[in-house]
Structure 1
Amino acid sequence: MGTGRRGLITIAVTVVCAVTVLAAPGTAFASPTPAPTPSASSTAAPIPVTNKDLEAVRKKLDRLYHDASVATDAYNLAEDKSERQSAEIVALAQKIVKGKKKLAELKKRAGSAAAAQYRNGGLPDGAHLVLSDDPEEFLDGAGRVIQGERATKGLLGELNRTQQDLEQYAKDASAQWEKLEANRKDRAKAKKKIKKQIAAAEKLESELEAEEKERLAELERQAALRAQTEWLDSGILDAIDGEASAQGRKAVAYATAQLGKPYEWGAEGPDTFDCSGLTSQAWAAAGQPIPRTSQEQWKQLKRIAVEDMRPGDLIIYNDDASHVGMYVGDGAIVHAPRPGRTVTVAGAGSMPILAVVRPDI
């Protein structure tokens, strides 16, 4: 590419490429060609960064932020699982406390029964009954003896069941702790990857001058416009005429009220959002809880044909369901794009559509 600042951009892209492919097992790549040693003539005037160079930067940034988005989904899923497991551990702990109190009460009752038998000379009630000389007392007590035997058996059975329940609660709590620890490690791993990808992207962008950043932003807009135009040229918008449901209107109202708020990975509002944090909170505000991540929204919510979508439906993007936006009508979505951007309106076809899902079936 040459020397000077343009050469620095090339080196930055190459370094970031290396950071990216290290995370992809089995990927082979050539070592970057060392930049030529600056000569006296090269310092006279910097070689301008061309649009071709910036297009390479744009594609590399897209990839880095895409990978950060995938890691964010993994982080959010682990976080969601950890919250559920923590709640389950608390519930199990409450059951254990309650079970121990019940066991103590049952043992107290069993002790009282044993003490009563001791006071009767150690003979069971049946023996006392047989030794009675009074027929009426015998007949009267026979029923009480049967009831007492049943109560004793019931007491012992309840003691045994309570003890077994406590043992099972302890096993379940131990299993949940193990899962909780595994998810903690998953969160830490995903967090590390997110920071690594975002740091690499920020470093790449930091190599650009203000004018070059403006040109880069323009290239991003042009790429999105080309994709949206191609989508609209298919005639798809002519087939989309669904009206939002009452809940869908509430979800759209919530999402659009967040316009201009910054993207932040792992955030669910109220001041910052990531992509699925925005959509999940919008539908929660509409009274319909949905999965936290874009991948789980894609897996668990009902799929809808693109031509049948209506405002409030969620559009899942990319082959790995790594991004999500909410359809608001007229071929547009509201979404939280990526770090460094804010919640905004974009073309529904400006990114590769994987599926459309509907929360309120």
Structure 2
Amino acid sequence: MGSHRRLAPSGFDRGITALCALSAAALGAVPAATSAVAAPHDDTRAEVDRLYTEAEKAAEAFNQADERADALREQVGDAQDRIARQQERINSMREALGSLAGAQYRSGGLDPTVALLFSEDPRDYLDKAATLDRISARQAGQLDDLQDAMRELAQERAEATRKLVELEKSRRAVASHKRTVERKLARARHLLNSLPDAERDAYDRASRSGRADLPGLSEAAPASGRAAAAVAAARSALGRPYVWGANGPGGFDCSGLMQWSYAQAGVAIPRTSGDQRYAGRQVPLSEAQPGDLVVYRSDASHVGMYVGDGQVIHAPYPGAPVRYDPVGMMPIASVTRV
């Protein structure tokens, strides 16, 4: 996946910039030496930023593929149940038609005109014959209808099965990509952990600072009782780890935390951040209230929950626990009130 062009500096951008400044100050060397040290930090900034962005996109793609596959499995199961029920009906009709055919064969071996001549009650014979014809025609029509429906359902099952196979392939590909990105993230974390404590602390402080150009946001009451319950659930998850594709309770990815928090409030919302963006009414950031979903980046690849006083609770990225961060920690795409 290609990396997304940022609209504004992320926490990672600011953190690495701080690291570069600290490194230059610590070295106290000539400008040439400072430039030589700054370049690797610039590379680290770009690599870490790219890896975290790709990782989040991969996680959301994995979640979406998983959700679609589960829905399709249910559709395939429903189609198979319908086919089985219709097959039973067809079998019952065939038995009934077979009985009628046997009766016709036993009584219809003679030419109808001859049978009429030998009938003790010609009128009764004609009535029975007409009724038998009507029953046969009606049941034959029903059988044709059921056979048509069975063919349609068989096609539906074949199509659903084909889609399921494709989705399983897609899930495997996404899972493979996920493992690749996790390896890259491990290398990036190793690189950051190898920095001196002072530089690493400065990076962490800078990565959790918000943008200065955001409107002032003060403490506000939740928009509803369910929003308040969702905020309480999100607060209870503070400190739990970021886990790929997880929606609690032991670990979460960003959208999994939002889905789990609202589930504790008795509200079902979609699984992925892209779908959560449209899970309610969008409001301006300046009107954000606790419980609102804050969706980040133009591709909606990250989401957090606004909790008031300019803060969100979110599952940041692999290696970082569920925590508070400034609402302006990265470019905001939208704010959704569930």
Report the TM-score range of the alignment, normalised by the length of the smaller protein: 0.7 to 0.9
CA distance in 2, matches of 1:265, 1:69: 9
Following superposition, the deviation at residue 300 of structure 1 comes to 5.2
What pairs up with 1:230-245 in 2 under 5 angstroms?
A: 230-231=213-214, 234-235=215-216, 237=217, 241=220, 243-245=222-224
DSSP 3-state at the match of 1:356: strand
DSSP 3-state at the match of 1:230: coil
Q: In terms of mean alpha carbon deviation, does 217-226 or 156-165 score higher?
A: 217-226
Letter in 2 for 1:194: K
Letter in 2 for 1:57: T
Residue in 1 aligned with 2:152? 168
Which residue, 251, 261, 268 being the options, matches 1:272? 251
Residue in 1 aligned with 2:87? 100
Following superposition, the deviation at residue 260 of structure 1 comes to 0.9
Residue in 2 aligned with 1:41? none
Q: In terms of mean alpha carbon deviation, does 88-97 or 55-64 score higher?
A: 55-64
Q: Deviations over 1:21-58 (max 9, x none)?
A: 7x89xxxxxxxxxxxxxxxxxxxxxx999677546524
Which residue, 45, 64, 88 being the options, matches 2:51? 64
Following superposition, the deviation at residue 209 of structure 1 comes to 5.2
Following superposition, the deviation at residue 321 of structure 1 comes to 0.6
Would the aligned equivalents of 2:280 and 2:336 in 1 still touch at CA under 8 Å? yes
Which residue, 78, 82, 85 being the options, matches 1:91? 78
Following superposition, the deviation at residue 215 of structure 1 comes to 2.2
CA distance in 2, matches of 1:345, 1:355: 19
CA distance in 1, matches of 2:173, 2:266: 33
CA distance in 1, matches of 2:118, 2:228: 83
Would the aligned equivalents of 1:55 and 1:219 in 2 still touch at CA under 8 Å? no
Measured at CA, do residues 93 and 126 of structure 1 come closer, stay the same or move farther in structure 2, by a change above 3 Å? farther
Measured at CA, do residues 216 and 57 of structure 1 come closer, stay the same or move farther in structure 2, by a change above 3 Å? farther
Letter in 2 for 1:117: Q
Measured at CA, do residues 342 and 172 of structure 1 come closer, stay the same or move farther in structure 2, by a change above 3 Å? same
Residue in 2 aligned with 1:284? 263
Measured at CA, do residues 259 and 223 of structure 1 come closer, stay the same or move farther in structure 2, by a change above 3 Å? closer
Structure 1: runs of 5+ lacking an equivalent: 1-19, 25-46
CA distance in 2, matches of 1:126, 1:198: 86
CA distance in 2, matches of 1:285, 1:154: 55
Residue in 2 aligned with 1:335? 314
Residue in 2 aligned with 1:40? none
DSSP 3-state at the match of 1:267: coil
**TM-score, normalised by the number of residues in structure 1:** 0.76
Would the aligned equivalents of 1:125 and 1:145 in 2 still touch at CA under 8 Å? no
Give identity over the alignment, percent: 31
Would the aligned equivalents of 1:311 and 1:328 in 2 still touch at CA under 8 Å? yes
CA distance in 1, matches of 2:202, 2:256: 27
Higher relative contact order (CA 8 A, sep 6+): 2
CA distance in 1, matches of 2:226, 2:312: 17
Would the aligned equivalents of 2:273 and 2:295 in 1 still touch at CA under 8 Å? yes
Q: Deviations over 1:236-288 (max 9, x none)?
A: x15x8463312112211222211111101111112111001111122222222
Would the aligned equivalents of 1:68 and 1:193 in 2 still touch at CA under 8 Å? no
Would the aligned equivalents of 1:256 and 1:334 in 2 still touch at CA under 8 Å? yes
Residue in 2 aligned with 1:347? 326
**TM-score, normalised by the number of residues in structure 2:** 0.81
CA distance in 2, matches of 1:99, 1:347: 58
DSSP 3-state at the match of 2:54: helix
Following superposition, the deviation at residue 60 of structure 1 comes to 2.5
1:251 aligns with 2:212: no
Once superposed, what is the RMSD of the aligned Cα atoms?
Answer: 2.9
Following superposition, the deviation at residue 173 of structure 1 comes to 1.1
CA distance in 2, matches of 1:329, 1:193: 36
1:80 aligns with 2:64: no
What pairs up with 1:1-361 in 2 under 5 angstroms?
A: 53-54=40-41, 56-122=43-109, 132=119, 134=121, 138=123, 145-208=129-192, 212=196, 215-227=199-211, 229-231=212-214, 234-235=215-216, 237=217, 241=220, 243-299=222-278, 301-359=280-338
Would the aligned equivalents of 1:316 and 1:325 in 2 still touch at CA under 8 Å? yes
